[in-house]
Amino acid sequence: MYFATLTEVPILQGLIGSGMGKGPALALLLAGPSLSLPSMLVLRSVMGTGKTLVYACLVVIFATVTGLVFGTLFP
């Protein structure tokens, strides 16, 4: 999902108010800007497709693990 700069904060505030957990919210905050379409296009042009895919996979994995840990420690 593409968010303009700093618009993800009020969107996540509304989602948390609607019952979204803090762990998934943190994961979205970490992964959202890193995996936006403009970022992916620039990274692909600079690093190539293979390295961009590895980068995207690592961002997803680490954001997910961080969200799970944070959601477990701070429910």
pLDDT digits (tens, 9 = 90+) for 44-75: 999 999 999 999 999 999 999 999 999 999 98
pLDDT digits (tens, 9 = 90+) for 3-52: 677 788 898 999 999 999 999 999 999 998 888 888 899 999 999 999 99
Distance, in Å, from the CA atom of 5 to the CA atom of 8, rounded to the nearest integer, reads: 7
pTM reported for the whole predicted model: 0.85
